[in-house]
Amino acid sequence: MLKTKSYIKTFMALVFLLGFGTGHCNAGTYTSKTNPQHSVQYKQAVYLTDGQCKNYSRQNPGTVFRCWSMPSRHFYLNGEIVDGRMDEIAKDEVAWDVFLLIFVLLLIAVAFYVYLLPTFTAYNRQHPQRFWIMMLNLFLGNTLVGWIAAMVWARNGSEREGEGSFQNDEEKHA
């Protein structure tokens, strides 16, 4: 058992001296000490030398790495130490997240409008079966056939029927 431990120590010393090392990554969140609202996602790499950390960071551009090496521990972005710039990176991350949230909410609103377009059309045209068109749209509108059927039904005959009844009412009063 003692021989095995000494071989492992010798192997680790040799790896360190030659500058080789295998790394592994974990993920985490960096929160600024000066501004706790700002945080950025990062990956954590473990290497033996700073050069390996820089190379690993260059091979994965745009990703923040918290690199643990024998002599130091730093955050790297594109091969450069960014400990002083973590607040800027965090602000960029927050701005991007807010943009994505607004964009997704707008997409949901547009999709909701398009999904209910047959219902809106039926109610705007005062279609006599607008309630049933709405039911068809709500329950079968998620299928393309159901949505097309609701739209065709909403667009058919309601204006002509409405105009005819309006003209008949005028003729009755005259």
Q: Is pLDDT larger for residue 72 or for residue 166?
A: 72
Which residues neighbour 171 within 8 Å (Cβ) at sequence distance 6 or greater? Answer: none
Cα-atom radius of gyration of the chain, to the nearest Å?
33
- CB atoms closer than 10 angstroms to residue 50: 17
* pLDDT above 50: residue 20: no
What pLDDT, in 10s, does the model give residues 129-169? 999 999 999 999 999 999 999 999 999 964 545 454 444 45
pTM for the full model?
0.47
The whole-number average pLDDT for the span 38-52 is 73
Mean pLDDT is highest, among 49-58, 76-85, 89-98, 121-130, for: 121-130
Token representation of residue 163: 């105009």
